[in-house]
Amino acid sequence: MIIELNHSIQQAEAEQLAIDTKAFHIVYENAHYLITGSGVKELPENVKDKAVNHWVFANDLQLASSKFLPKKRTVQFGNVTIGGDTKNTIIIGGPCSVESEEQIRTSSTFISGLGLKVLRGGCYKPRTSPYSFQGLGLEGLKLLAKMRDEFGLTVITEVRDATHIQEIIEYSDVIQVGAKAMYDQGILRACAKTQKPVLIKRGFGTTLQEFVQAAEFVLAGGNPNVILCERGIRTFETGTRFTLDLCGVAWLKQHTNLPIILDPSHAMGYAYGVADLARACVAMGIDGLLIETHPDPSVAKSDASQQLNHAEFETLIQSLRPVASSVGYSIV
């Protein structure tokens, strides 16, 4: 249950009520809210005369639910707003991994040259093998920060595990929680304590319900700036790397209030299908797109097969504008 407290109630009293009802306490648009588990169906006795509104839920999808906030939330990527009524589809481009200063500067020059605002690049790679390239770590984070300073780009990079979440929060403008880390409470609870935007990728074996509940950890902990990212689920089909779940995206648009960004590169796993899928994603009316592009995919240290080269990426972005326009959106 979500309980909106009487607006005259102050911080200290709200905190005490949260303790008394074993609830989370958040402040959202200047009002105090308590959030209990969804098993609570009737207003607790001790808040009965202190609540101005309350919402009952069938399950623990609560703060993220469109039943609570029917209108989609907004989130800032630097100066750009997505979600709400903006009808912006933001493009997040860049290489799978930060590999060197030269490589990431080439990428930054390219991305900002196209008029795009957001640069991605992995520093802590969640590889499934200990024998693969694991990323540059802190050195990579510093390179990303340097690119932000030089090019004015908003940067986003992925946290692999809780041991370096504070570094990511410090260096990255947007925190990406990867598909393999999205159940990680060490990460989610840390993300709840910052106000930086958090992009949570759906695990490839994760139900929509569980996916949104990961967002609930961040929302209930006090950070309202959460974006959901569908990037393909694991199915019996192995002709492609994963299966992009656009039915799931339709479900998320209907049932949640969170902005949605899609990642067709990881879903497909092969460059040849990325452009068609990206256009399909944009035609869904979504808040952003995450596309991997590398100066020279053939020598990339990770995900070589699915990254677009710069010419392909540029052609793709040009082709997305009329598609976005046909559904009332703008590519930003």
Please report whether residue 196 would count as binding a second copy according to CB under 8 A.
no
Cβ 196 to a second copy shortest distance, Å: 19
Binding mask 165-184 for a second copy (x = CB under 8 A): ---------------xx-xx
Q: Which is nearer to a second copy, 94 or 178 (CB)?
A: 178
In the region spanning residues 16 to 75, those forming contacts with a second copy, defined by CB under 8 A, are 24, 35-38, 60, 62
CA distance 209 to 1: 17
Residue from the set 11, 16, 53, 326 that interacts with a second copy by CB under 8 A: 326
| Backbone region of residue 249 per phi and psi (left: phi > 0; alpha: psi in -120 to 50; beta: other values) | alpha
CA distance 71 to 312: 36
Count of C-beta atoms within a 10 Å radius of residue 171:
20
Q: Which is nearer to a second copy, 62 or 225 (CB)?
A: 62
* Beta strands 2-5 and 51-55, pairing class: antiparallel
In the region spanning residues 242 to 271, those forming contacts with a second copy, defined by CB under 8 A, are 242-251, 253-254, 267-268
Please report whether residue 315 would count as binding a second copy according to CB under 8 A.
no
Residue from the set 283, 304, 312, 314 that interacts with a second copy by CB under 8 A: 283
Cβ 221 to a second copy shortest distance, Å: 7
Which region, judged by CB under 8 A, interacts with a second copy, from 79-87, 99-107, 150-158, 272-280? 272-280
Q: Which one, of 197, 228, 219, lies nearest residue 78 by Cα?
A: 197
* Angle (deg, nearest 10), helices 310-326 and 271-283: 20
Largest CA distance in the chain: 65
**What residues form DSSP beta bridges with 16?**
none
Cβ 25 to a second copy shortest distance, Å: 13
Residue from the set 9, 138, 145, 284 that interacts with a second copy by CB under 8 A: 284
Q: How far apart are the first and last CA of the chain?
A: 37
Give, in order, the Cα–Cα distances in Å from 280 to each of 37, 193, 238, 252: 37, 35, 21, 16
In the region spanning residues 64 to 93, those forming contacts with a second copy, defined by CB under 8 A, are none
Binding footprint of a second copy, residue count (CB under 8 A): 81
In the region spanning residues 102 to 161, those forming contacts with a second copy, defined by CB under 8 A, are 126, 128-132, 134, 160-161
